[in-house]
Amino acid sequence: MAGFGKVLYRTLFWSYERGSWQYDAAVALILVFVLLTPRGWFHDQPQIGLPANAPGEVVLVQDNGTSKTYQVDARILAAPEQTPLLENLLHNALQKALPELSGKRFTILKIEPVRDEQGAVVAYQVEVRH
């Protein structure tokens, strides 16, 4: 039993010399674990988009007759790299979420990000003209 304890101690504290068969076996086991472990065993995938039960993706903030301002939750959009892409994503999100804009032409006049206390963008206020 003392032999097994010594092997376990040396393996846990990585005290085998490089190039020994024990060292190579430990490295091979680590590689097998890293490369063959299913991703689903680790629940650290980022959440993309809104949960299915999330309310208020698009909210009407202001209506002055000629234009309307909506607040669009930032989580329903992919992380935009450029303003034209953001405008296109917002246009599509508004058409999907609002029946009054679905299939109709409208122009986005202004986009303003809404930030939380840490400064992260949580939504966009979008002014549109029909």
**The domain containing residue 91 runs over which residues?**
58-129
pLDDT tens-digit series, residues 24-43: 888 999 999 989 988 778 76
Provide φ and ψ at 70, rounded to 5°. Answer: -115, 150
0.85 cut: is pTM over it? no
pLDDT value, residue 50: 46
pLDDT value, residue 28: 92
Mean pLDDT across the chain: 80
Is 29 found in the same domain as 81?
Answer: no
The answer as to whether 107 is a domain residue is yes
The answer as to whether 46 is a domain residue is no
> How many structural domains compose the chain?
2
How does DSSP assign 61-114, residue by residue?
A: EEE-SS-EEEEEEGGGS---SSHHHHHHHHHHHHHHH-TTTTTS--EEEEEEEE
Is 118 found in the same domain as 74?
Answer: yes
Is 122 found in the same domain as 65?
Answer: yes
Is 35 found in the same domain as 85?
Answer: no
95, 87 contact by CB (below 8 A): no
pLDDT tens-digit series, residues 88-114: 888 888 888 888 888 888 888 888 888
Indicate the range of 56-60, 76-80, 101-105 predicted with least confidence: 76-80
